[in-house]
Amino acid sequence: MTTLIPLIGILVATTGLGLVFRDYLASLLAGMILRANRKVKPGARVKVMVQPNMVLKGDVISIGPIRTSLHEVGDGEHLPSVLTGRIVKVPNSALVNSPIVIYGDRITDEVVGFEMLPSAHLETVEEDMRAAIVEAGHEVVGVGLYQREDKLVVHGIFQEQAAHQGDSRSRIIKVFLIRRSERQAPPKAVEQSKAA
């Protein structure tokens, strides 16, 4: 009986330590799995469903023994595909046990512009959107038009390198709007703006 009491004490202490370090051990094993799998690697863009209503999106900086560091990237309507400047450290076990999207080297994105109707130079709307996408350094996948009330919606689809993705939509829209305003401006105003 006297040898049984210390044995029970050791068993209780070991179980307690196991419960305390359970998450760390799970993340340590998950880190080994991530490094062996090689799909989640530095430079890759990932989106992780951490909780039912919480999604993390970012570019992998490094995979540590316990946590993976990500440069956070905006998602959805708020800062789409723009680096937020924050670094997020995600437990490796969350990456292994949660649904995860691993982006490829090239990402397809979209940009939407509007043209008020009636409009002069309607025949060049698609051309201007294509030129804006190319000028921003991206590959054009397609450009489509459809009408919504008193506006013409110009929908551009483009591809870019995942590693270089940033606020491409703003750059494309800016070029598109400049091109459209130059077409709408009287000829003298266009000549004066080019001379300046």
Summarize the confidence of residues 136-164 as an average pLDDT.
82
DSSP structure class, residue 183: H
Q: Which of 81, 102, 123 is the last residue of a domain?
A: 102
Q: Please write the tens of the pLDDT for every residue from 109-125.
A: 888 888 877 776 777 88
Is residue 50, in this structure, part of any structural domain at all? yes
Strand, helix or coil for residue 120: coil
Q: Which of 52, 81, 102 is the last residue of a domain?
A: 102
Q: Please write the tens of the pLDDT for every residue from 2-33.
A: 565 665 556 555 666 565 667 777 777 777 87
Summarize the confidence of residues 159-184 as an average pLDDT.
76
Q: Which of 67, 102, 137 is the last residue of a domain?
A: 102
Same domain? For 17 and 88 the reply is yes
CA distance 124 to 82: 30
Same domain? For 71 and 11 the reply is yes
Instruction: Give the domain range for residue 84.
Output: 4-102
